């Protein structure tokens, strides 16, 4: 395994190319925080932005000079000089120098179509633009990474000229020649064949910069390495313009675990999942649950046959150990589950079902019945655990809702208001009370808490963090089945519960009741044992590492 002693350089462009993705923007403070995380993870180069394009990037480079980085080289990005302008008078080149970085990355045109129709200049002038820019920056002590934009399209259109552009950069002293699949349309077989021809014509180390427009950015990057490329560019989570850039969260573990390159340490690789989630948090984007290696569902197992095999042999349905990239194995429960799923969850939750097989069958049957009614338990493991607990002999719910009534009215001032009246049993006592809220679910929540707080003061520490409603059969109009998912928290513990009904208030109550019951149970366990009985960050993420901002 592996390809000798060849070192792979990892170049991150999340802070520049990644921010060109639709709906993504970082503040200067965000970029500085991410840069430190990237450095801690082990990235070799961090492209911080384009100083010639906006004041924010200039501010980043000014402040980045004080970052206590361990190894990463902050890099400024820009273009070659403009056509018909002396290099020393070009504002973009001046900005690159003013950024004060040890390394700079400049892009130039490789495709004659771009030279003629985008730059509106001649082929020879484009070669001079490349050479002048590289030579000028090298003369000022900069390491120069030359990005050959649209190289693969350019090579296929005019291979002789595309190679001449690389020669111009190489002769001027470029340290790396990065071949860019800018439009993201090149197939791996074509890409590797072209790299083979480039290697015959150049002596400078080669890099790859792939875009994902054909869902091939990771495949192309790995193929390029196998073809002899030693410098790989990409972004965390594959963020970037259009369909994104090559995803370093997939490339890095593949390089290390599949191809045997020690591009980062084992310890650093174990922080990959938390890095992915950290960046998505600062980007204010929901993490992609189905992203390979680092996604929440990357090692989630649902089918009964799969889980049965997994219990006997973990590698039967996992291509790597999740812990290697800081992720975790998860078993989810649904109508597709088998007894093995329930048995796994019983063990995971630290529970004990006497007559385990029969009770597991009963729990599984109940889950399938409820999912047929519109429930979904994959993202509501708080409700799953309660179903299992309720199957235990002698289990008693901490409370029972006997009746509720919710009234919504339009006040004299035009403001909407809601009032809920509830009747709750705790032990042998019945409490009848009411509360107002800004909506029917809020009023119901407040009324139930008002009834229960005298018996369970710990409810004051339990709060809702999210409330999601999904219409399951929209064609039924206002009579549609509704699913409600509620996320709750108590200190650092979080959990999710679910309800489903044609009545949104009833569905909300089902999820809310499970949420409060589950919260009281775990609060009681912690109080009795003085610590968590089971170390799980959340009932929906199990032992996954918690990232900053989660």
Q: Chunked in runs of 10, what are the mean pLDDT values of the chain (550 residues)? A: 67 97 92 96 97 90 95 97 96 96 98 97 98 98 98 98 98 98 98 98 98 98 98 98 97 97 94 94 88 88 62 76 88 52 55 56 64 59 74 81 87 77 94 92 93 93 85 62 85 83 86 89 64 36 34
Kindly state whether residue 537 falls inside one of the protein's structural domains.
no
17 and 84 share one domain: yes
Strand partners, 511: none
Burial string for 282-308 (b: 16+ CB within 10 Å, else e) reads bbeeebbeebbbbbbebbbbbbbebbb
Same domain membership, residue 102 and residue 24: yes
Residue 548 maps to a domain: no
Is residue 546 in a domain?
no
Same domain, 142 and 15: yes
Alpha carbon separation from 96 to 61, 78, 127, 231, 285 (Å, rounded): 10, 7, 20, 21, 30
Q: Is residue 272, in this structure, part of any structural domain at all?
A: no
> Residues 430, 484: one domain?
yes
In the block, residue with structure tokens 């649904």: 334
CA distances, 183 to each of 154, 222, 506 (Å): 11, 18, 51
Residues 6+ apart with CB under 8 A from 230: 6, 7, 8, 9, 205, 206, 207
Regarding whether 432 and 480 lie in a shared domain, the answer is yes
Q: Are residues 178 and 47 in the same domain?
A: yes
Q: Are residues 14 and 108 in the same domain?
A: yes
- Confidence at residue 334, expressed as pLDDT on a 0 to 100 scale: 47
CA distance 531 to 528: 8
Assigned domain for 534 exists? no
Asked if residue 273 belongs to a domain, the reply is no
471 inside domain = yes
Sequence-ordered alpha helix ranges (H) in 183-293: 188-201, 217-226, 248-253, 266-269, 272-282
- The total number of structural domains in the chain stands at 3
* Domain end among 237, 264, 291: 264
How buried is residue 354: exposed, middle or buried, by Cβ count under 10 Å (0-12/13-18/19+)? exposed
Region class of 42: left (phi > 0), else alpha (psi between -120 and 50), else beta? left
pLDDT at 218: 98
Residues 423 and 373 in one domain: no
CATH for 204: 3.20.20.70
With tokens 């001079």, the residue in question is 128
One domain for residues 181 and 40? yes
Q: In what order do the strands lie in the sheet with 462-471?
A: 462-471, 482-490, 493-501
The rounded distance, in Å, linking the Cα atoms of 456 and 150 is 65
Of residues 128, 122, 190, 185, the one with CA closest to residue 159: 190
Domain containing residue 411: CATH number: 3.30.160.270
Distance, CA of 337 to CA of 370 (rounded, Å):
13
Identify whether residues 114 and 221 lie together within a single domain.
yes
Closest alpha carbon to 162 in 204, 114, 121, 120: 114
**pLDDT attached to residue 390:** 75
Q: Residue 358: its pLDDT value, please? A: 62
**Per-residue pLDDT, 550:** 30
The CATH number for 339's domain is 1.10.238
Direct distance between the N- and C-terminal alpha carbons of the chain, in angstroms, rounded to an integer: 37
Q: For position 535, what pLDDT does the model report?
A: 37
Of 356, 390, 424, the domain-final residue: 390
Question: Do 326 and 202 reside in the same domain of the chain?
Answer: no
Q: What does the pLDDT read at residue 136? A: 98
**Residue 355: per-residue pLDDT:** 46
| Per-residue pLDDT at 412 | 66
CB 5 within 8 A of CB 227: no
- Domain holding 335, by residue range, is 300-390
Tokens 């069958």 identify what position? Answer: 361
Assess if residue 475 is contained within a domain.
yes
Same domain, 77 and 219: yes
Strands (E), 438-503: 462-471, 482-490, 493-501
Q: What is the distance between the alpha carbons of residues 56 and 95, in angstroms, rounded to a whole number?
A: 13
pLDDT at 474: 55
């Amino acid at each position: 395994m592996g390809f000798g002693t060849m070192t792979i350089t990892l170049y991150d462009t999340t802070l520049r190319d990644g921010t060109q993705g639709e709906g993504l923007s970082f503040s200067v403070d965000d970029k500085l925080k991410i840069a430190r995380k990237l450095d801690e993870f082990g990235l070799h180069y961090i492209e911080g932005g384009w100083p010639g394009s906006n004041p924010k990037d200039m501010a980043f480079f000014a402040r980045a000079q004080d970052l206590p980085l361990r190894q990463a080289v902050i890099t400024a990005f820009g273009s070659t000089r403009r056509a018909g302008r002396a290099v020393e008078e070009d504002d973009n080149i001046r900005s690159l120098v003013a950024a004060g970085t040890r390394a700079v990355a400049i892009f130039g045109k490789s495709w004659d179509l771009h030279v003629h129709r985008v730059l509106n200049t001649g082929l020879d002038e484009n070669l001079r633009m490349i050479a002048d820019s590289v030579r000028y920056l090298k003369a000022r002590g900069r390491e120069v990474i030359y990005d050959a934009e649209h190289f693969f399209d350019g090579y296929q259109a005019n291979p002789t000229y595309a190679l001449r552009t690389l020669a111009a950069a190489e002769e001027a002293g470029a340290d790396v020649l990065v071949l860019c699949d800018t439009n993201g349309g090149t197939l791996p077989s074509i890409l590797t064949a072209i790299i083979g021809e480039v290697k015959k014509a150049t002596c400078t180390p080669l890099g790859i910069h792939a875009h994902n427009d054909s869902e091939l950015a990771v495949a192309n990057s790995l193929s390029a390495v196998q073809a002899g490329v030693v410098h790989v560019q990409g972004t965390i989570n594959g963020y970037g313009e259009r369909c994104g850039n090559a995803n370093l969260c997939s490339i890095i573990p593949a390089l290390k675990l599949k191809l045997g390159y020690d591009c980062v340490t084992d310890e650093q690789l174990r922080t990959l999942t938390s890095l992915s989630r950290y960046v998505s948090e600062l980007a204010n984007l929901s993490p992609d649950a189905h992203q390979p290696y680092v996604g929440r569902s990357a090692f989630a197992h649902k089918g009964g046959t799969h889980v049965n095999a997994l219990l006997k042999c973990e590698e039967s349905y996992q291509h790597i150990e999740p812990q290697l990239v800081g992720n975790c194995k998860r078993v989810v429960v649904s109508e597709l589950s088998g007894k093995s799923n329930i048995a796994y969850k019983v063990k995971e939750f630290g529970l004990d079902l006497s007559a385990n097989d029969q009770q597991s069958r009963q729990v599984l049957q109940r889950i399938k019945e409820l999912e047929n009614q519109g429930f979904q338990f994959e993202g509501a493991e708080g409700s799953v655990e309660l179903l299992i607990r309720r199957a235990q002999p002698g289990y008693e719910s901490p409370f029972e809702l006997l009746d509720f009534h919710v009234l919504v009215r339009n006040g004299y001032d035009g403001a909407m208001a809601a009032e809920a009246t509830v009747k709750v049993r705790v032990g042998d006592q019945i409490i009848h009370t009411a509360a107002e809220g800004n909506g029917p679910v809020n009023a119901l929540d407040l009324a139930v808490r008002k009834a229960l707080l005298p018996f369970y003061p710990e409810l004051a520490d339990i709060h809702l963090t999210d409330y999601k409603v999904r219409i399951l059969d929209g064609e039924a109009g206002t009579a549609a089945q509704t699913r409600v998912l509620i996320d709750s928290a108590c200190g650092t513990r979080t959990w999710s519960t679910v309800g489903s009904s044609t009545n949104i208030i009833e569905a909300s109550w089902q999820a809310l009741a499970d949420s409060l019951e589950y919260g009281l149970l775990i609060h009681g366990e912690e109080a009795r044992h003085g610590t968590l009985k089971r170390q799980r960050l959340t009932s929906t993420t199990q032992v996954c590492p918690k990232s900053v901002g989660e």
